[in-house]
Amino acid sequence: MASVDERAALPAATIRTVKLRARDEDFRIVQLHGNLFVCSKAHGNCCCGWTEKGRAPVNVGLYETEWERRKLRNKIHLTFTGCLGPCAIGNNALLQLYGHSIWFKDLNGDQFIPAIYEYIEAMLRAGHVLSPPPELLAHVYNRYLPAPDAGDVVSLVADEDDPAGLERLDPVCLMDVDPATARFSLQYAGQMFYFCAPGCKKAFERDPGAYLVP
């Protein structure tokens, strides 16, 4: 498996939407590369972040700040959660990326947070899963059993592709915005963009290139 040694700029996100139906309405849902789940005392677990049990506090703010600073919102979703399960080796986190589940253990220090994000960015640049970098090597493990037949891939659903869905997306937060009722919009590079809130519009104005997609 390749090592984490690439430091080129992240490629622009290739965003696709699927049209899904819920409560008798159609919704456009963005397909992302993956999801980072972080076990946090503030979100209802029994071990991670509990200093009285020998764990370091979970710096939720740093996870959020690094996620926003690196502009990963349209690539990786960030979720704070209750118990992930393996309490004895907390603090824990779980990254699901490119069909793999990468488990992190003993994240008892803020230095691991930027290291995890750098690892994620390296894999996004490479387009596939990489071996963990030296600073995370002792903190990554496999929790799930492999499939009995590694070649057995089952498609659970038939997604309804939605090629026109991107026209309705707030480019910053990726929410579905109806152009007919949107209160915030601007024109950039010959294209009209619509926003769900003034904060998203301001973020786009500061750095449009971070949110444009091919």
The answer to whether the Cα torsion of 62, 68, 71, 77 is positive or negative is positive
Mean pLDDT for 114-142 is: 95
Structure tokens at 141: 């493990």
**Helix or strand run (H / E) with residue 121:** helix 112-126
CATH topology assigned to domain 31-141:
Glutaredoxin (3.40.30)
Specify whether the CB–CB gap between 192 and 179 falls below 8 A. Answer: yes
Our measurement of the distance from residue 198's CA atom to the centroid of its chain's CA atoms, rounded to an integer in Å, reads 23
- Percent of the chain past pLDDT 70, that is, above it, reads 83
pTM for this prediction: 0.76
Ranges of CATH 3.40.30.10 domains, the chain: 31-141
pLDDT tens-digit readout, 136-173: 999 999 998 887 766 666 656 655 566 555 677 788 88
Average pLDDT, the chain: 83
For residue range 11-24, list pLDDT tens digits in order.
Answer: 555 667 778 888 99
Strand 76-81 relative to strand 34-39, pairing: parallel
Letter for the amino acid at 25?
E
Residue 123 buriedness (CB in 10 A; 0-12 / 13-18 / 19+): buried
Question: What phi and psi values does residue 68 have, to the nearest 5 degrees?
Answer: -70, -45
Q: What span, in angstroms and rounded, lies between the C-alpha atoms of 6 and 60?
A: 27
What confidence tens digit (pLDDT) does each residue in 186-209 have? 888 888 888 888 888 888 888 887
Tokens linked to 152: 């057995």
**What pLDDT score was predicted for residue 54?**
86
**pLDDT > 90: percent of the chain:** 37
Q: Say if residues 81 and 104 touch (Cβ distance below 8 Å).
A: no
Q: Which amino acid is at 10?
A: L
